[in-house]
Amino acid sequence: MPVILDQSTGVEREVSTAEYQALRNEIRGEHRDAVYTERQEGAGSMAVWDCVDGTWSAPLPIEYIYQHYLQKVVARCSACTFTSSFDGDIAKHVEQIKRDFVAHEGARLTEPISQVGLQPVQHCTGCGASFRMAGYRGQRHLEQLAEMKRNHGRVELLVIKRFALEPSEPVVLHREVVVDGPVSRQAERIEPPQRAGKRHRRKRGHRRASRTATLG
């Protein structure tokens, strides 16, 4: 069980995992100095800070943290929390956002379709995804796409250390520009697939006649 030190009483006590996470949020907020002090959770274990998600891990063996977690290096999109350990994935991530933008240009939600015994469903005209009316999920889908478009105007690939011992921004080891300019302008370069049409071939007689006339 996690152990915390209550500064108001000077007494250590065990708390549940849910209470511990709530206290950590309080510590990171404006009451840090007034309420609790963070300490190592149990002998030989501690939590690490995820610099991407902005959250604490569960208590982990200290040796494992130093050998693995603090050595973890990932590539991250500078415009969101997308990360990957594989080369080329950040560029693929940006390309997918461009394709989504093209597919959802002018997209809207259809009128609700009633289903017997189920909640009405709406469909996105851009991608065809279906959403139940509860929670305005379809509207959030379109809003999230619009936000992704706004945030990805300029994108850098950041090579970072993902974990740290204290709440902090990630250590950036390398950076390079992937997209420089509005996604809308970049998306204009992606043309929708063209349907294959019939090719019209000239008759040989016409071709020869034309050539003979030119040469003559």
Span 27-48, average pLDDT? 56
Span 70-92, average pLDDT? 93
Q: Taking the alpha carbons of 103, 104, 108, 112 in that order, is the dihedral positive or negative?
A: positive
User: What is the C-alpha end-to-end distance of the chain, expressed in Å?
Assistant: 98
pLDDT tens-digit readout, 103-116: 998 889 998 888 77
pLDDT score recorded for residue 80: 93
Domains of the chain, by residue range, sit at 1-39, 48-187
Nearest to 101 by CA among 167, 176, 184: 184
> Is the model's pLDDT at 10 over the cut of 60?
no
> Is the model's pLDDT at 214 over the cut of 80?
no
Gap between the Cα atoms of 187 and 98, Å rounded = 5
109, β-bridge pairs: 124
Strand 83-84 with 73-77, pairing? antiparallel
Q: How confident is the model at residue 28 (pLDDT cuts 50, 70, 90)?
A: low
> pTM, whole model, 2 decimals?
0.58
DSSP states along 61-93: EHHHHHHTGGG-EEEEETTSS-EESSTTHHHHH
Mean pLDDT of the chain: 75
pLDDT tens-digit readout, 126-185: 998 999 887 788 999 999 898 988 889 889 999 999 999 999 999 999 999 987 755 544
Gap between the Cα atoms of 182 and 192, Å rounded = 19
Gap between the Cα atoms of 64 and 116, Å rounded = 53
Residue given tokens 């206290």 in the structure block = 23
